[in-house]
A and B are shown apart, each in its own frame.
Chain A
């Protein structure tokens, strides 16, 4: 029995989600694009900020509020403040270390209190058990039939990702190959690889 993609994506609101992998940034950008309202993007100040021109196909950079904190502690604290206030629709945080169960649970509670979705971009294997879902995202090879139509093409519409759901509090795990349709502004499932 496979998990239908529409039951898990768009992500459940007012919950904390985690994402890792090479293409985690694109996953976050897509979710920022799907959020209706302001998106707060918290990161440590040494990290180069996300490139707004790269965001353009997914998300209007104007709705981003970029917060630069000096340490992971302040990243998490700022994230909790932003979640609890409920003014933003989505709060994305990039962290470089691992987080414990206490921090994860606090973020989850703050997300519920403010009705805001939380998304943590974590290094591989650094999540906390309190998260609602965890995703591993990586680039996928373009299926052969599409490649023949556009030889040597990796344009944005034909960018494919493999999104694996590696933790799910309320159901089973699965993975999908998806692509982003910029014109329709939505995610299209190319193949149910896990099914």
Chain B
């Protein structure tokens, strides 16, 4: 059976996607930073009229069209959108492939009659896309190459036997040849596909790469061309529908256990671990309630995850009963097979579970670990990083004695470079009985830090008769005394 291919080209995919989300009534363009300047990435027809084109710098474009509205381009989002369109296109045929970043190939062999023939099928595609605010150029032929040529240069349908007749008069660029080769051939006086076709094949092959003959043959069907359909993204979600609504905690947990076992088997096959799970309950009155579980480490161990779900599930109000449970792994991370350790592995697991449990109460980012930072500024010598995404730091540099608690400097009264013998701090009168110092710390001049605006600091450790041990500093450049820490 003769193959029939539709080539679908969206000439303004990026601009129209942006306008669909947020329409404007003005010349409009998308800009992207490329080759050292902001350049036009895509534009609407109204912006094209004053002479704007893709690749022009934005400054240049503004001089042509002062009223130009621009937004930043999002090529990654455009690609996702094209994938969505590819999924939509499976309503016409099961075999849909991407073509570059702005086109689709549909293999409609044997499925055109479902919409009443080829002409009505193209009309239907065009009507639906127009309603969605997308302009599309359509070409239908027996090969992807010919369909592409038609969609880009002469929209229409080429019957099974008239491929050459339809694409023959088209320029060479219709063969998807690079610009240099086209220019080169045009210099030799070969401007159209049929002129190229009439040349002796041996002389073309001698002068040019295989590329020229290959694309000619692909367009005319002498060489086959594959359309690769998109792979189905694995979807880690399972659900259970119940004949009778349930409401008891034990029943719900039993249902959750069955879902978890199933999901973990899926994850196991894919060598993945879940990092975030969402459990959704649909109640009899069609209301949904979900429980989210964020895990400290990726995992796929059904029993452990079940135990971690317990707190969230017990907070669910079952109402008149739950008749569907859906479990979805929202975030997935690769998780390789791992040899089971003896004691150490279990301890690590229990710490990870504890982080998860605490994280579900106060937020996973609030469970933190200390990590050393290479800085001589005391308040910057460490940082707190989320424990779920880090491992314990082992090597802490040994420093001079530092207080157990650091706080922002609090001014006290004192004169001269020696620590004050008596001072008031936090409403208490304190008497110094021992002092050790000074330890001079210079500010990091390359960093802009307001709290170090007083310049150099001479740190003293003092003991007071009242029992407190404090960390004081004196700023010799702008005289003053401050308390910055407590030794406890």
Contacts and interface: CB of A to CB of B under 8 A. Distances in A.
Interface string B353-370: 111011001100011111
Contacts of A82: 354, 357-358
Interface stretch (B68-76, B107-115, B286-294, B393-401): B393-401
Contacts of B401: 54, 57, 155-156
A195 B401 CA distance: 32
Contact of B406 (A29, A37, A48, A77): A48
Interface stretch (A9-17, A83-91, A168-176, A185-193): A83-91
Contacts, number: 157
Given A25-B486, A38-B351, A54 B467 contact: no
Contacts of A124: none
Interface string A22-52: 1111110100000001101000010011111
B435 A152 contact: yes
Interface in A132-164: 138-142, 147, 152-156, 159, 162
A50 B405 contact: yes
Interface in A70-113: 70, 74, 77-78, 81-82, 85-88
Given A62-B394, A138-B467, A54 B402 contact: yes
A62 B468 contact: no
B436 interface: yes
B239 interface: no
A56 B403 CA distance: 10
Given A23-B488, A54-B405, A63 B392 contact: yes
Contact of B485 (A54, A56, A60, A81): A54
Given A48-B407, A64-B369, A154 B347 contact: no
A139 B432 CA distance: 13
B10 to A, nearest CB: 49
Given A22-B488, A26-B404, A50-B404, A67 B436 contact: no
B454 to A, nearest CB: 20
A85 B353 contact: yes
A50 B404 CA distance: 6
B461 interface: yes
A29 B488 contact: yes
A65 interface: yes
Contacts of A152: 434-436
A23 B467 contact: yes
A152 B436 CA distance: 6
Given A56-B396, A85-B350, A22 B467 contact: yes
A61 interface: yes
A132 B467 CA distance: 26
A139 B486 CA distance: 11
B404 A49 contact: no
Interface residues of B, number: 50
A154 B367 contact: no
B362 A67 contact: yes
A135 B394 CA distance: 31
B378 interface: yes
Given A62-B370, A154-B463, A85 B402 contact: no
B463 to A, nearest CB: 5
Contacts of B463: 139, 141-142, 154
A51 B369 contact: no
Chain A residues touching B, range: 35 or more
A54 B378 CA distance: 10
Given A23-B467, A138-B467, A152-B435, A53 B402 contact: yes
A92 B219 CA distance: 74
A147 B436 CA distance: 13
Residue from B350, B362, B367, B381 whose CB has the most chain A CB atoms within 10 Å: B362
B482 to A, nearest CB: 15
Contacts of B399: 53, 56
B384 A88 contact: no
A31 B75 CA distance: 56
Contacts of A3: none
Interface in B449-477: 461-465, 467-469
A52 B373 CA distance: 11
B405 A154 contact: no
Contacts of A69: 361-362, 366
A84 B384 CA distance: 25
B487 interface: yes
B433 interface: yes
Contacts of A140: 467
Interface string B409-421: 0000000000000
A71 B393 CA distance: 28
Nearest to B382: A52
A40 B404 CA distance: 16
A90 to B, nearest CB: 13
A77 B370 contact: no
B370 A159 contact: no
Contact of A51 (B398, B406, B433): B406
Contact of B405 (A38, A48, A85): A48
Nearest to B462: A154
A154 B461 contact: yes
Contacts of B367: 65-67
A68 interface: yes
A165 interface: no
Identify the 3 closest CB pairs spanning chains A and B, nearest first: A25-B488, A26-B488, A87-B350
19 contacts: A22-B468, A22-B488, A45-B366, A48-B407, A52-B382, A53-B378, A56-B398, A61-B396, A64-B369, A66-B370, A67-B368, A69-B366, A81-B354, A81-B357, A81-B358, A85-B350, A85-B353, A139-B467, A141-B463
Interface of A: 22-27, 29, 37-38, 40, 45, 48-57, 60-70, 74, 77-78, 81-82, 85-88, 138-142, 147, 152-156, 159, 162
Interface of B: 347, 350-351, 353-355, 357-358, 361-362, 366-370, 372, 378, 381-382, 384, 387, 392-394, 396, 398-399, 401-407, 433-436, 461-465, 467-469, 485-488
